[in-house]
Structure 1
């Protein structure tokens, strides 16, 4: 697997991610179980975005010294495009997480810990998937066409089913987990296991953690090939993916408060996948410049979000005097 990043930058990336996770866990432990408000979610979202941009600036500086400004500009733009794509596709994760928490009636105070565990698992699994994917593409170039066709078909399916609410009772992963694990009828605080009739069994919160992890893996099958359409450098694919995932928890609490206002965003995400899939299939015929891809993705998301806000369903409040 060829990568343009120097070894010291790989080491710096790994150390930075580990340090960020440790700090996040320490802060979470000191705060204890509590519901994350919009202001706190917005503050942490800005922190993660600024950290991602700072890392990209360091990446640009490192490449500028070794390969020149032109190469540095191109690679930094690839990171930014990959980050935006992963960040936008993660919105679908957020809406599914919201549905899972609602289905199991998980109090907001307990959701933070579940998402943190899910993020750590997502980073590990996605790292394996990205490195494996980079190796496969390096060995079999034709896989890019397969990934492209898959993204295009996924985009079409997402468009057709946009706005539909998934049926949790029909979820095969949930059915399998319930067969494998005996589960208590109610939560026991933030515990994953509890005693019931003298027997140690799982709580619904453990099912929630498992479903969050499974959901992320499923969405990674879409998002990771999408970034490979921008670049095949494993360093850029991995770093842009991980930095987007690090801010997923804060983005969840931010979007959860305004989920209804972005009710049309699924259509925009479907167009993004279809565009990236088409770009990937045309890679050996016509290479779409990175800045064009960034512009198209940003425009689609901006238009869809504005359109959602303008057509957001109004909440009709009941008459308090009745």
Structure 2
């Protein structure tokens, strides 16, 4: 496996093929995704991801393989926080369960395109301007502290506060009723957007904000564009299945945001310190250690959530 234009083309063709297979074959019929189906798809995507990780390990080397796995884990872990926001959006708009998969499909497709642009641009900037690494490290530490101080509270869902939604509503009439799973409908010869399009726009804009945290974190782990991009893609491909598998369980992981915050602070601190340690002490934190810290913090946050469940708020009289 080589980081060549041909391989980039083949990889993206594989991704497109998997997405088309998902949309046109396995989920051709609109239906609510059951837990058993979501778990099956999650197992499929994780297995496929780890298989690809093994190929990276065998063909690009030990370090690249560990970087890929670390990037995949970080993106996957941060995705759980994003899934909670998706759940809030679906709940706010009362989106029927049978239409949620379609929205997430197009949401993930848009996210893949945007991530590709962000990753290539970010890697190019970091390669050209070394000082940006320090800004990136400081930003990750700031983001981690902000996440910890927020206490894991989700944002309020306010469509009117979303500039893209406001732009959409000014230039396109929007109905209040659904028309099946359609994003657009026609009434008396006039084209209207349905609430599902508003939901899709909010999902996409939410992911752009989310990418501002996740992509710097992965670029801090590896500056190999192929490793960063492919690990990100595989994490996103399993995002929909993960959502349906965890939708009813997300409230259980109330300490996860603190674990994610520590991961971001660790990655940012590592990025800030690596040049100093290399130049003055000839030290470099091995990737297995970094991977162990990331995995340990993630598992610790999940274990803490299960061992010390969140207490229900007392009923007010």
C-alpha separation in 1, matches of 2:167 and 2:264: 29
C-alpha separation in 1, matches of 2:39 and 2:173: 38
Q: Tell me whether 1:306 sits opposite 2:284 in the alignment.
A: no
Deviation at 1:216, TM superposition (A): 1.0
Q: Which residue is 1:273 aligned to?
A: 264
Q: Which residue is 2:281 aligned to?
A: none
Deviation at 1:288, TM superposition (A): 2.3
Q: Which SS does the other structure have where 1:12 is aligned?
A: helix
C-alpha separation in 1, matches of 2:168 and 2:6: 42
Q: Which residue is 2:65 aligned to?
A: 76
Contact 1:38 1:257 in 2 (8 A): no
Q: Which residue is 1:204 aligned to?
A: 195
| Residues 315, 161 of structure 1: alpha-carbon distance in 2 compared, 3 angstrom cutoff | closer
Q: Which residue is 2:44 aligned to?
A: 47
User: Structure 2 unaligned runs (5+)?
Assistant: 278-283
Q: Which SS does the other structure have where 1:33 is aligned?
A: coil
Q: Which residue is 1:194 aligned to?
A: 185
Q: Tell me whether 1:256 sits opposite 2:237 in the alignment.
A: no
Deviation at 1:176, TM superposition (A): 4.4
Greater Cα offset, 192-201 or 38-47: 192-201
C-alpha separation in 2, matches of 1:163 and 1:11: 39
Deviation string, structure 1 residues 228-248 (Cα, Å, up to 9, x no partner): 111101010101111101000
Count of residues in Structure 1 that have an aligned counterpart in Structure 2: 306
Contact 2:2 2:59 in 1 (8 A): no
C-alpha separation in 2, matches of 1:177 and 1:312: 41
Greater Cα offset, 191-200 or 295-304: 191-200
User: Structure 1 unaligned runs (5+)?
Assistant: 64-71, 317-322
Contact 2:162 2:202 in 1 (8 A): no
Q: Which residue is 2:15 aligned to?
A: 17
C-alpha separation in 2, matches of 1:207 and 1:102: 13
Deviation at 1:137, TM superposition (A): 0.8
C-alpha separation in 2, matches of 1:292 and 1:138: 24
C-alpha separation in 2, matches of 1:264 and 1:192: 36
Contact 1:184 1:196 in 2 (8 A): no
Q: Which SS does the other structure have where 2:221 is aligned?
A: coil
C-alpha separation in 1, matches of 2:18 and 2:312: 39
TM-score for the superposition, normalised by structure 1 = 0.89
Deviation at 1:11, TM superposition (A): 3.6
C-alpha separation in 2, matches of 1:200 and 1:279: 52
Deviation at 1:204, TM superposition (A): 0.7
- 1:171 is aligned, of 161, 174, 178, to 161
- 1:91 is aligned, of 67, 80, 86, to 80
TM-score for the superposition, normalised by structure 2 = 0.90
